[in-house]
Amino acid sequence: MRPIKKAVFPVAGLGTRFLPATKALPKEMLTVVDRPVIQLAVDEAREAGIEHFVFVTGRNKGVIEDHFDKQFELEATLRKRGKSAELDMLEQDLPGAGQASFTRQQEPLGLGHAVWCARELVGSEPFALLLPDMVMHARPGCLKQMIDVYNARGGGNVIAVEEVAWDQVNRYGVVAASDWKGNAFTIDAMVEKPPRQHAPSNLIISGRYILQPEIFAEIAKQEPGTGGEIQITDAMIRLMARQNFWGIKYQGTTYDCGDKIGFLSANVAFALERPDLGADFRAALKRILDSHGGL
C-alpha cells in the first residue's frame, strides 16, 4: 500500500456563476473570511500529509501561482514595519521549494480531462484530488479522515460523501453504499448527476477523492458524458470493475462555494468560529438580522 503524497487541484474553471467578480479574478481566489478557497484546500491537504501540490490551471489563473510564491516587496515592507505575525503566517502558508507544480488545461473539456492533464506530474502513485470549490469544515480535515480509511482498508480508492436533501442529488455525483463499518462503506455504484428518481441514494460525491494511478488510463478511454464533458465519475465507474472503491461519510460540513448560498454560508460559519472575530461578528450578524426583519 503506497502512501498518498501528491494532491491534484483542478483550478481551470471559469467561475461563470460568480460574474462579475470572476471576470479577472480566478474563482479559487475568492475568500472565506480572509483565506482564498484554494488556500483552504491546500491547508487541508497539508494537514493530511501531502507533500506535493499539483495545480491544473488555465488562462487568467496566474494569480494562483503568485499566491503560492513569495511576495518580495510585501515581505520586505512587513519586515521593515516589524509585522512578524503577518510574516510568519505568509511563511507558514507557502509550499516548500519545489513542492508546487502547475500545468494547464488548455480547453475546458471537463473534470476528468483536467485530472488527466496532471498525469505526468502525478506519475504512477496514488494521489488525492481536491475540488477547491467544495470547502470542507471538519476536524480533523476531510482528507485526513479519508487517509485513515485508506490505511484501515489497505489501499484502494476512497471518496468522501455527504448526505444532502433529495432535491439536490441531480447537481452531484451520487453513490450506492453497502457493508457499512462505522462511517465507512463499500461503494457499489456511482452515477453522475442523476435525476432524483434514478439516484441510488442521497449520498453525494463531495469533492475529495483518493485515486489509484490506473484512473488515468480509464480517463484516456473516456467519451464525453453528462454535459458533453469528460467526467471523472465515468472513469471511476470503469475502474470500479477492477479496483475497490470505499466511501466515507466524513464528519464535518461541506460548503459548495461554487454556489452563492454555499459561499455566503461558508463565510458566516468560518467567521463565527474565528477567535479574533467570532464575538464581534455574532453581534454584527444579529444587528443585520434584526434590521432585516429577523429570522
Q: Binding of ligand G1P at residue 50 (CB under 6 A)?
A: no
User: C-beta of 69: minimal distance to ligand G1P in Å?
Assistant: 27
Nearer to ligand G1P, 78 or 232 (CB): 232
Q: At closest approach, how far in Å is the CB of 251 from ligand G1P?
A: 18
Neighbours of 123 (CB within 10 A): 11
Q: CB of residue 60 vs ligand G1P: minimum separation in angstroms? A: 18
Q: Are 154 and 140 in contact, with CB atoms under 8 Å apart?
A: no
Q: Which of 15, 58, 207, 247 binds ligand G1P (CB under 6 A)?
A: 207
Q: Nearer to ligand G1P by C-beta: 207 or 247?
A: 207
Instruction: Locate 134 and state its grid cell.
Output: 467544495
User: DSSP labels for 59-89?
Assistant: TT-HHHHHHTS--HHHHHHHHHTT-HHHHHH
Q: Is 115 in the site for ligand G1P (CB under 6 A)?
A: no
Contact flag: residue 173 with ligand G1P (CB under 6 A): yes
- ∠ Cα 256 108 259 (to 5°): 15
Which window, 59-67, 122-130, 136-144, 199-207, contacts ligand G1P (CB under 6 A)?
A: 199-207
**Rounded-to-10 torsion of CA 64, 66, 71, 72:** 180
Q: Residue 8, interface with ligand G1P (CB under 6 A)?
A: no
CB of 7 to ligand G1P, least distance (A): 16
Q: Does 11 bind ligand G1P (CB under 6 A)?
A: no
Indicate whether 134 belongs to the interface with ligand G1P (CB under 6 A): yes
Report the nearest approach of ligand G1P to the CB of residue 268 (Å): 20
Distance in Å, CB of 80 to ligand G1P, minimum: 43
131 near ligand G1P, judged by CB under 6 A: yes
192 binds ligand G1P (CB under 6 A): yes
Residue number of the CB atom closest to ligand G1P: 173
Q: Which of 96, 88, 6 is nearest to 48 (CA)?
A: 6
C-alpha cell at 176: 450506492
DSSP run (H or E) holding 263: helix 260-273
Please tell me whether residue 105 binds ligand G1P under the rule CB under 6 A: no
- Specify the residue, 119 or 162, whose C-beta has the smaller distance to ligand G1P: 162
Helices (H) and strands (E) in the chain, counts: 11, 13
Q: How many residues does the chain have?
A: 295
Q: How far is the CB of 11 from ligand G1P (least distance, A)?
A: 12
- Map residue 202 onto helix, strand or coil: coil
Binding to ligand G1P (CB under 6 A) within 225-244 occurs at 231-233
- Say which residue the cell 484501515 belongs to: 152
Separation of alpha carbons 227 and 233, rounded Å: 13
Nearer to ligand G1P, 78 or 219 (CB): 219
Helix (H) or strand (E) holding 151, with range, is: helix 142-152
Site size for ligand G1P, by CB under 6 A? Answer: 12
Nearest CA-CA partner of 67 in 104, 32, 30 = 30
Binding site for ligand G1P (CB under 6 A): 111, 131, 134, 172-173, 192, 204-205, 207, 231-233
